[in-house]
Chain A
C-alpha cells in the first residue's frame, strides 16, 4: 500500500476518533461530588424548599441588579414559576414577571387542587451538557462546581443554549455571548451568599458546600425528600428541591 495513503488513513482515523476520545475523557469536577469528603475546595450547590417560596420575585430582582442582566423582562438568570393544578387535572404554569407570563388568568380557589411557586435557575450540573457541546470550551466547570462562561472566548454559536435542558441560558443581547447564573461567583468566592439567597425573605433558597456536613443545604437534604429537575437526563444537577411536585417540568 502507498505510504502516503496509509498516513492519510491514520490521520483521518485519529481525527474522527477525537469525538469518542472526548467522550471518555475524565471530567475532574464530577469526581468531587462522589468523594463525600470536604476537601480544601468547596463544591457548591443550592437547595430550594418549595413549601417556603412565596413567589415575591425578590430573587429575580436582586439577581438582575447584582449581575447586570438586562432589566427588560426577556432574559433571566433565575425566575419563579407558578403552578396551579386544578381538580380537572389541568396544569397551568406561568412565570412571574416575565414577558411571556399570561397574567390575565385569574384563579378561582374552588378549582384549585394544589398551587405553589417554583424558583428556577441554572442547576450547575455536575455532568453539564452545555460544557460538553461548547465548540471552543468557553463554558467550563470550575473546581468548586460552578459552570462559568468565558465571555472573551465565547463565539456566540448558541449550541450550549440548545443543549441546556432547563432553559437556564440566554444570549446576552449586548455582549452577544452566552450568559447564565453563576451562583454569583464573585460573591461566593469572597464568602458571601448569592444575591438570590441573600434576599429571599423566607429562606426558601439555601446555599452551601455539597460535601459539608453542617450547613443549611445539608439540613435541607437531611430533613426532606429531595428531587432534582429531569434526573433521567443524567445531568446531575446541583440544585436540590425539597417538596418538589411531580408536575414541575
Chain B
C-alpha cells in the first residue's frame, strides 16, 4: 500500500460516524459509476423520444427524430468507458462476453447492451439514413464519398420499393426497440435493485424509477441539443416541435416524481429497520444533493416552470428561455439522482449503525476531471456523427433528391 493510500484511508477513517464494518472504509463505486447510468439513461430516453415519432406517428416531433437517434448512438458508444476505467482489471473485461455468469445481472446486461446497440439502434439508423447515404455518396468526392459508401454497405438502390421497405423496417425495428430501450435502462436499475444487502438499493421500484428518470433526462437532452444546435446553424426553432417534446417531458417528470415520492412515503410508513440510518444518511450527507439538487432544483422547479408555461400564454422567446432553464435543471437533477442512488447507497454501513464519507479525487482515473471529460466526450462524438450523418436537410441532399426521383 502506498503512503498516499494510507493517508487517504486514514483521513476517511477519521470521518466515520458511528460504526461501519472495517472493510467498508472506502466507497467502492465512485463517480464513474454515477456517470455510467446517467449516460445510459440518456440513451434510453433519447431513443424512446425518437420511437414516439415512428410508432405513434407524431408529426410535430419529426424534426428531432434523427437527432434523437444520433444522440442515443453517441452516448451509447461512450457509456462503456466509465465502466472500463473503473475496473481493477479492464484488460480482462472480455471475459464478460466469453464466459459470463448467467445468474449475474451485470453479465446479462452486457448482452442486452450489445443487442440494443447492434440489432436495434444501428439497424434503425442504417435504415433511416440508407437513402441519404447513397445520395450523398453520389454527389461527393474523396474521403467523405468513401465513408458514405461504406456506411451504406455499398448499396445503390433508391427505388420506391426499396425506400418503402426501409420505412417499414424502421417501423418494425422501432416497435422492437421500445421494449429493448426499456430493458436497457431497466436492467441497470435491476443491477442495483437486486442487491438485498443494501436497503437503499434493494427495491422493486428501482428499475422503474431508473427507467423513468432516464426518459426524463433523455427527452430533456434532446430538447437541449435542439435548442442549442439549431440557432447555431442559423435555423429557426419549430415551436410546435418544442412544445410537444416539452409536453412529453412534463408527463414523464410527473410520473418520475410520483414514483420517487411513492418510494419516500413507503419507506417512512413501513419504517423498517434501516429507516433510522437512512434518515441520518439523508439529513447528514445528502441534504444538498437530494433535497436541494434532486428534488427542489431537479424536479419541483422544472415542474413549476412547465406548469407556468402551460397555464400562461407566453411569447416564444420567454417560452424558449423557460424551457431551456427547465432542461438544464433537469439534467442537474437526474445526475444528482444517480449520485444519490450510487454514492448515497454506499455512505451508510451495512451494519446500519454508521455513516462514512466519499472523498472524490480531482485528478486520477476515478476523479472529477475524468468524469467531466467522459460527460463531454459524447458531445464530441455527436458532433462527428452530425457531420457524417446530417439529421437535417442540406442543400446537397435537396439537390440530389430532385435528381434521384425526378
A→B interface (CB under 8 Å): 2, 5, 8-9, 11-12, 15-16, 18-19, 21-23, 25, 70, 72-76, 79, 81, 91, 93-95, 98-100, 120, 129, 132-138, 153-159, 161-171, 173-177, 233, 249
Contacts and interface: CB of A to CB of B under 8 A. Distances in A.
A15 B195 contact: no
B353 A99 contact: no
B60 interface: no
Contacts of A120: 21
A91 B351 CA distance: 12
B101 A137 contact: yes
B176 A163 contact: no
Given A11-B119, A156-B89, 6 more contacts: A8-B119, A25-B103, A93-B353, A135-B96, A157-B88, A167-B20
Contacts of A156: 87-89
B92 A133 contact: no
A206 B104 CA distance: 33
B59 interface: no
A31 B95 CA distance: 28
B192 to A, nearest CB: 9
Interface in B46-104: 83, 86-90, 92-93, 95-96, 99-104
Interface string B330-370: 00000000000000001001111100000000000000000
A9 B87 CA distance: 32
B105 A162 contact: no
B311 interface: no
B154 interface: no
B279 interface: no
Nearest to A133: B104
A165 B24 CA distance: 11
A167 B350 contact: yes
A167 B24 CA distance: 7
B105 A9 contact: no
A136 B108 contact: no
B22 A98 contact: yes
A137 B176 contact: no
Contacts of A75: 22-23
Interface of B: 1, 5-6, 9-10, 13, 16, 19-26, 28-29, 83, 86-90, 92-93, 95-96, 99-108, 110-112, 115, 119, 172, 176, 180, 183, 191, 194-198, 346, 349-353
A173 B2 CA distance: 9
Contact of A25 (B102, B105, B111): B102
A19 B101 CA distance: 9
B5 A135 contact: no
23 contacts: A5-B172, A12-B119, A19-B102, A21-B102, A22-B101, A74-B25, A98-B22, A99-B10, A99-B22, A134-B101, A135-B100, A135-B104, A136-B99, A154-B88, A157-B83, A157-B86, A157-B106, A161-B28, A167-B24, A169-B23, A177-B89, A233-B197, A249-B351
Contacts of A22: 101-104, 108
A224 to B, nearest CB: 24
A165 B196 contact: yes
A68 to B, nearest CB: 13
B88 A171 contact: yes
A167 B198 contact: no
A167 B23 contact: yes
A174 B2 CA distance: 9
